[in-house]
Amino acid sequence: MIPLPSREIAPGAVHVPGWLTLEEQRRLVRACREWATGPVPIRHTVLPRGGVMSVRTVCVGWHWQPYKYTRVAEDVNGRRVADFPEWMVGLGRRALTTAYGEAAGYTPDTALVNFYDGQARMGMHQDKDERSAAPVVSLSIGDDCLFRFGNTETRGRPYTDVRLSSGDLFVFGGPSRFAYHGVPKVYPGTGDPGTGLAEGRLNITMRVTGLR
């Protein structure tokens, strides 16, 4: 299948279909499985008001909990999260070069890995717990999803709905860095088992925390 061309969804927000090769997807699935077992295992994040996120999350480099990053996961098991691997830095830089034409020293130091089963959703939110405004690199593996990319002022309209498929890259930075976004729907059974993921969707978002 010939990949679809890249598309700028909003200023600084670029969708690149079919960016990851099948082997790259398999490598990421293997890495995510390893991270999911610990040292800080995958879990459903509990929100400050007591709600529980429907996605399951594991972190690399820094541990995220609403609304902060720490090296140690006090809310899970008190252990330090796995280190952010150097090969992921290279992948992030290559993603930015594809989306923007250059990477300008981009050095991600954390990744949030979210696993969606067929019923999981993600409400409209901003990625704003980082101290850096460097772009976010988002990779999709497994089942397709409906990705809703909005504006920086409100969770409502205007927004653009994009169908993300396995291997797709989505980068948002610059004017769109703090745009609201979410996943209102996953399409079960649309993924390629050749990725090593039999069902569900993995979303890997690389960020620069701005922390030391």
Flag whether 186 is in a domain: yes
Q: Which pLDDT value is given to residue 3?
A: 65
The DSSP-derived string for the chain is -PPPPPEEEETTEEEETT-S-HHHHHHHHHHHHHHHTSSS--EEEEPTTS-EEEEEEEEESSEEETTEEESB-TTTTSPBPBPPPHHHHHHHHHHHHHHHS--TT----EEEEEEE-TT--EEEE----SS--PPEEEEEEESEEEEEE--SS-SSSS-EEEEE-TT-EEEE-GGGTT--EEEEEEETT-S-GGGS--SSEEEEEEE-----
Q: Show the domain range for 46.
A: 7-207
Flag whether 1 is in a domain: no
Flag whether 88 is in a domain: yes
Splitting the chain (212 residues) into consecutive groups of 10 residues, what average pLDDT does each group show?
A: 83 98 98 97 91 97 96 95 98 98 96 97 97 98 98 97 98 98 98 96 98 93
Q: Which pLDDT value is given to residue 1?
A: 58
Flag whether 158 is in a domain: yes
Flag whether 65 is in a domain: yes
Q: Are 197 and 158 in contact (CB under 8 A)?
A: no
Token pair of 9, please? 């969804």
Number of domains forming the structure of the chain: 1
Q: Which pLDDT value is given to residue 192?
A: 95
Residue that the structure tokens 């996961």 belong to: 73
CATH number at residue 58: 2.60.120.590
Q: Are 199 and 117 in contact (CB under 8 A)?
A: yes
